[in-house]
Structure 1
Amino acid sequence: MAGGSSTVGMDPDVALRLFEEGATLVLLGVPQGTELGIDCKSWQVGPRFRGVKMIPPGLHFLNYSSVNSPSCGREIGPKTGLFLSLKPREILVANWDPKEEDLDFSASKNEEELSRIRATLQELDPYLGPYPYEVMRKWVSLTDRLSEEVANNLQPLSGRICAYSEVIPEIEFRHTKDRAEQPRNDTACQSMREGLNRLPRMKHREGTELRFSVVPKKTYPPGATPAEITRCSLDLSYALETLLEKNYQVQPLNVLGELQFAFVCFLIGNVYEGFEHWKRLLALLCRSEDSIRMRKDLYLGLIAVLYHQLGEIPPDFFVDIVSQNNFLTSTLQDFFQFVNGPGVDGTLRKRAEKFKAHLTKKFCWDFDADTDDCAPVVVELPDGVTVD
Structure 2
Amino acid sequence: MDQSNVQKLFEQGAIFVLHDFPERSEFGIDYMSWDTGPNFKGVKMIPAGVHFIYYSSVNSQGQKGPRSGFFYNFAPQEIVVKYWDARAEDIKSCQLPEKELSRYTSNKQDLDKFLGPYPYDKYKQWISLTKHISADLVVMLQPDCGSIYSVPQFESISSTTQSRQAAAEEAAATVGGISQDTFSQASKTLPELTSVEGTKIKYSEVPNKRYPAGATPSEITKYNMDSSYVLDLLLSRFDKDFEKLLGEIQFAFVCFLVGQNYDSFEQWKKLVHLVCTGSEAVAKHPEAYLSFISVLHFQIREIPSDFFVDIVTSNNFLTATLYELFQNIANESVDTKLQKKSKDFRKHLTDKFKWDFSSEPDEYAPVVVEG
TM-score (norm 2): 0.90
Q: What does 1:140-289 align with in structure 2 at a 5 Å threshold? A: 140-168=127-155, 172-182=157-167, 184=169, 190=176, 203-245=194-236, 247-249=237-239, 251-289=241-279
Match of 1:120 in 2: 107
Q: Which of these residues, 329, 337, 358, is aligned with residue 347 of structure 1?
A: 337
Q: How many angstroms does 1:373 deviate by?
A: 9.5
Q: CA distance change for structure 1 residues 131 and 297 in 2, over 3 Å: closer, same or farther?
A: same
Residue of structure 2 in register with 1:15 after alignment: 6
Sequence identity of aligned pairs in percent?
Answer: 44
Q: State the Cα distance separating 1:94 from its structure 2 match.
A: 0.5
Distance 2:35 2:110 in 1: 23
Match of 1:4 in 2: none
1:294 Cα deviation from its structure 2 partner: 0.6
Query: Does residue 59 of structure 2 align to residue 68 of structure 1?
Result: yes
The one-character-per-residue Cα deviations of 1:331-370 (angstroms, maximum 9, x if unpaired) are 0001101100121000000000000011111111011135
Alignment match, 2:297: 307
Q: Distance in 1 between matches of 2:18 and 2:210?
A: 47
CA contact (8 A) 1:173 1:179 kept: no
Q: Deviations over 1:265-292 (max 9, x none)?
A: 0000000011100000000000000000
SS in 2 for 1:359: helix
Please give the root-mean-square deviation of Cα atoms over the aligned residues, in Å.
Answer: 2.6
Q: 1:316 to 1:32 in 2, by over 3 A?
A: closer
The amino acid across from 2:298 in the alignment is H
Which residue does the alignment assign to 1:365?
Answer: 355
Say if 1:363 and 1:257 are closer, same or farther in 2 by CA, change over 3 A: same
TM-score, L = length of structure 1: 0.87
Which structure shows the bigger proportion of residues in helix conformation? 2
Distance of 1:13 and 1:229 partners within structure 2: 64
Residues 240 and 77 of structure 1: is their aligned pair in 2 closer, same or farther, counting only changes over 3 Å? same
Letter in 2 for 1:158: C
Paired residue for 1:103? 91
Is the Cα–Cα contact under 8 Å of residues 70 and 146 in structure 2 kept in the other structure? yes
C-alpha deviation, 1:323, in angstroms: 1.7
Matched, 1:54 2:45: yes
Aligned length: 362
Which residue pairs with 2:317 in the alignment?
327
Q: Is the 8 A contact 2:232 2:240 kept in 1?
A: no
Tell me: CA distance 1:115–1:181, structure 2 relative to 1, closer, same or farther (3 Å): same
